[in-house]
Structure 1
């Protein structure tokens, strides 16, 4: 266990982009939303005079994961879900497993909770043996990402589920789970007692600006979160997107993209590893995490050449030699590799 250090928990990939830079910093799928989804969102604008009705989208999410509608709360992105949980839960000992997305810890701290950090080792993978050592028995709130941002590691579902025990809430951030073909390690369809799953449409469907996500949990907790949520928090266009992206056809399209992503990500990882870089093994999301000597210096040089990558030192458990690189199409990835080669990498 480590106590909080001075890191900027509010620094995210969007802070890295702009000024015409090629974006390898934000983990949103390029070329999205697809035309059919954009049309559904545009069509929803005709209903803006009415207050949003979340019921159809809520039912669609429930069907998509084999849950009841009472186990679903729609949110303005995953970020709102973290804020709602921080407002509703009253943990005596909250533990965030790092490295991971920093917004859950930031939300807990903003709500006045003390937070401890459990730092995973170099391969950043949770297993059943390790989690018993990593997380103290009296922790009553544990937060973990799966697959984890920024490491791209997919933890075994059994190891994550084993974190649960009476009196403890385990929050699993599955914002990148649809990057994994077949989603074999998701807990969304199983939802063991004490487990809360958070999902997002931002990454796969290119909807960061729309704010669309949801929470899956037991009906009692969903009810408490709903009471803490502002009225009509999810807009009509966002609800239309949630409903559309939860259909079997949309899920199949996301699956096909995940298969293509897997092949290109593995190729890019192999290219980087062949140059002697440490790439976190077994990456399963839409980005790679790698250790580069003088990572901040390399980041600055890449910016000079028109490329934005995500610095790693704002993730607890990483440092200034770490970078996160989004996986793009083959041609874009090759151009980045060429520039890295020019820098001697």
Structure 2
């Protein structure tokens, strides 16, 4: 009997050993930028007052051209999965895998039975017709998907929306895609309930601050807000949400996405020279999913060489021969590729 994957294992567990070069966590290096650190530091004098989310909520709403009552700020996108699991009462919850495992973990913790729709590597992990059963009244999908890095067309994801169904789209990595062409964050005219989750963690380097948000129908947003504890988002996190929604910040994020795309192509080109390595699909985010015979042993050899990568066997639909690699600058990538080649052929 195949063991169930550890849904609560995440990339940060790979880098708890000091001194490793981090290719396991998908947070952009060199972040947060200095201007954002200054903005956060400026809030320290306001910590005696309770947080007021009004300005940050309005800024996020304006950024996505939505009414304010369709925005909920959360303590990271991960909190949103917990809130949805507590509020919704699905008859058939379906999570599209391989993807970030917290949605399924949160649903199971809340007592829901979860059905898996597993996409096939042979199809490039693309969303295909019929992948999600018609009877599913809650569907969770990532776009671009962690860990596959596949970007599903907006039309394909939107086609999952229907009356009587809640469609949850995890767009935590969408701002790593230049132009965000597949985002549904500003879409409000689809049938059923469409919920989009966003995070400021990856592009802005704010994993330790915990800030994300939910976009969705006002009535559902009100229910989710009622399930939150009081003052769930700190004053510095609110300042980050407001600051990262400005036109200047969005332009900076776009530049970062284009640079990431160039660095990703450099990594992909280098991987073609690694014996046995194969990337399925067309990566679009700040990481690459690699299939490699003996990947579990290779990962351990890489750690000995000073590099941390993300194991793939904790994602439903994958197994021990998969690794997720974060995109880094070309110099770091070249050094990593040298270490990877040695780890694949240790003799």
* TM-score under structure 1 length normalisation: 0.96
- Any idea what the Cα deviations from partners look like across 1:246-299, whole Å, max 9, x if unmatched? 000000000001001101101111210233421133111100000011111000
Q: Where in structure 1 do 4 or more consecutive aligned residues deviate above 4 Å?
A: none
Cα distance in 1 for partners of 2:114, 2:196 equals 20
Does the 8 Å CA contact 2:125/2:280 hold for their aligned counterparts? no
Aligned partner of 1:172 in structure 2 is 169
Partner SS for 1:215: strand
Cα distance in 2 for partners of 1:125, 1:325 equals 17
- Any idea what the Cα deviations from partners look like across 1:18-50, whole Å, max 9, x if unmatched? 221110000000110000000000101111111
CA root-mean-square deviation:
1.4
Aligned partner of 2:45 in structure 1 is 46
Aligned partner of 1:162 in structure 2 is 159
Aligned partner of 1:222 in structure 2 is 221
Offset of 1:344 from its aligned partner?
4.1
In structure 2, stretches of 5+ residues that fail to align are: none
Aligned partner of 2:23 in structure 1 is 24
User: What is the count of residue pairs matched by the alignment?
Assistant: 340
* TM-score under structure 2 length normalisation: 0.96
Aligned partner of 1:302 in structure 2 is 302
1:1-345 matches, cutoff 5 A? 6-17=4-15, 18-122=17-121, 123-127=123-127, 130-131=128-129, 133-191=130-188, 192-193=190-191, 194-276=193-275, 277-344=277-344
- Any idea what the Cα deviations from partners look like across 1:160-196, whole Å, max 9, x if unmatched? 0110111100100000000000000000011334210
Does the 8 Å CA contact 1:125/1:155 hold for their aligned counterparts? no
In structure 1, stretches of 5+ residues that fail to align are: none
Offset of 1:134 from its aligned partner?
1.4
Cα distance in 1 for partners of 2:261, 2:146 equals 16
